[in-house]
Amino acid sequence: AVVVLLCNGALSLADSLQLPAGGALLVATTTHGAWLHPPRQEGLREVQHAGRGTTWVGPLLPLRAGGGGGGGGAARVAGVPEVASSSSAELAAARFAAAGLGAVVEGGGQTSRRLWLKLAANAVLNPLTALWNVRNGEVLRRPDGRRIAADVCAEIAQVCAAAPPAAATPSPSARELEAFVEDCASENADNWSSMHQDLHHGRRTEVEHLNGWVARRARELGTRAEANDALAEQMRRAEAAKGQTG
């Protein structure tokens, strides 16, 4: 079996994932933007493709320095040989292409680096769009948005540098993370983020796998991620105010 993980917070989820016997675990990241329209009739939902981006797919490598969460989950993920996963990635990319969403296949080091870039975009745009009730493109138009983005990216770069992927690929700098956030905000300017949609429809958000994970991992590494911690706490309060329970 080939399992493709295509979701926000993949670095956090990797801490607890286990592979099925003989299975291959891949991770995909995408900058496509989409959101669900309200249902027009029972059982019918329309998806709005609000921003065309790029999708990348490849094997998931463990983090150095023991992985996050203390559970050793990343080591289990490492059990898939990169050669086998690369072959599986080609198959997954073909499936994406058949749906009109062609994917670029990358090696493990590139994939891991891509996850940190995507984490930065999600950790900036998702909570701010939810808290401010705006679309992606509005966030970096605001001075507060640009300031928070810089702080969030600096903290993510620090955490990544302290526990980089188990590969020779260089960790992304704070400026590289910021540039990726800017690209995502531009490509998906008219999109409502997943966190915005979840908060405003009474669902629990993924903030614990984004800003919350960055803050927890920073503490494990003996440092702090105050901007990420603050956004996670604001989202927890916003969820509580709307009565989210699951």
pLDDT in tens, 91-145: 888 888 888 777 888 888 888 888 899 999 999 999 999 999 999 999 999 999 9
Residue pointed to by tokens 């993920």 = 77
Task: Of 201, 217, 211, give the one whose Cα is nearest residue 236.
Answer: 211
193: nearest Cα among 105, 133, 104, 245: 133
Query: Measuring CA to CA, how many Å separate 245 from each of 49, 192, 203, 239?
Result: 29, 22, 7, 8
Sheet holding 2-5, edge to edge: 2-5, 24-30, 55-59, 103-105
Q: Please report the pLDDT score of residue 67 as a whole number.
A: 42
- What DSSP state is assigned to residue 56? E
Q: Which residues are known to be catalytic?
A: 118
- The whole-number pLDDT of residue 209 equals 95
Which two structure tokens, joined as six digits, stand for 220? 């494990």
Residues with Cβ within 8 Å of residue 118, at least 6 apart in sequence: 8, 10, 29, 31, 180
Mean confidence (pLDDT) of the chain: 83
Helix 143-162 and helix 108-132, axial crossing angle in degrees, nearest 10: 150
Residues near 145 by beta carbon (within 8 Å), at least 6 away in sequence: 124, 128, 138, 139
Q: Would the pLDDT of 72 be above 70?
A: no
Residue-level pLDDT at 82: 45
Tell me how far CA of residue 37 lies from CA of 44, 49, 79, 94, 227, in angstroms.
10, 11, 40, 28, 32
Confidence check: pLDDT of 73 > 60? no
Extract the tokens encoding 226: 């105050």
Average pLDDT of the residues in 218-245: 93
